[in-house]
Amino acid sequence: MPTETSRIRDLVLPLLETELPPIVQLGHPALRQPALPYDGQLNPGELSAFIALMRRVMHAAPGVGLAAPQLGIPLQIAVLEDRFDADPEISDIRERHPLPFFTVINPVYTPLGTETAEFFEGCLSFNGYQGVVPRYRFVSLKYTDASGASGEQNFQGWQARIVQHETDHLHGTVYVDKVLTRSLCSNGEYLRRWASPSTDEARRTLGF
């Protein structure tokens, strides 16, 4: 068995015995290294159990996406699901609509056009903060699904934001690398002052 494969299995198999493993935080090396393409390091039962585990952790957090490096596993696997029931004004301005659960393996996104959108986002691996990140408004995503089939799908707005955030995790990039630094807010200040659908007032006051 190749060394890389046994190293991955040594990391994943103990996690499968746990109900809710911790989400690793900024400073953990797995968040800063390119993850390995998934090429069968786990057997099908282990892969399904790992995906189910990632989904549990994402729901419990709660979050709208989770990438394997956030559990300390350097594999290109992420889960995405947005069940957040946004009020109509927020859905409208942020283009936030429900995203059914799906798994992406070895995903690659390509911007469709150059248009970007700037909104606050946070990361379960950088607890306690939110910041404004410019993201492509439209992207195309190529990936392999949990059954091993190839998929390609276009995403817009908030869904495109989630796709970019989670795919970036698989390449060692965290949103703080792309954030407009002057927009960084503690969750408390964000909720108190800047949770309105548009970022205009935050932009003027904080100067980003």
Residues in contact with Zn ion by CB under 5 A are 123
Q: Which residue is nearest to Zn ion (CB)?
A: 123
Q: How far apart are CA 67 and CA 74, in angstroms?
A: 9
Residue among 48, 58, 44 at smallest CA distance from 16: 48
Pull the structure tokens for residue 194.
């800047």
Told to judge if 166 belongs to the known catalytic residues of this protein, a careful annotator would answer: yes
**In sequence order, which residues have a C-beta less than 8 Å from that of residue 196 and are 6 or more positions away?**
none
Closest contact distance (angstroms) between CB of 44 and Zn ion is 27
Q: Nearer Cβ to Zn ion, position 12 or 123?
A: 123
Closest contact distance (angstroms) between CB of 131 and Zn ion is 12
Q: Nearer Cβ to Zn ion, position 13 or 60?
A: 60
Q: Taking CA 105 as the corner, what is the angle to CA 101 and CA 106, rounded to the nearest 5 degrees?
A: 140
Closest contact distance (angstroms) between CB of 34 and Zn ion is 16
Q: Nearer Cβ to Zn ion, position 112 or 176?
A: 176
Q: Nearer Cβ to Zn ion, position 68 or 123?
A: 123
Backbone angles phi, psi at 52, to 5 degrees: -60, -40
Pull the structure tokens for residue 185.
């807010």
Q: Kindly state the DSSP code that residue 87 receives in the 8-state scheme.
A: -
Closest contact distance (angstroms) between CB of 175 and Zn ion is 6
Question: Out of 81, 115, 166, 189, which one is annotated catalytic?
Answer: 166
As annotated, the active-site residues are 166
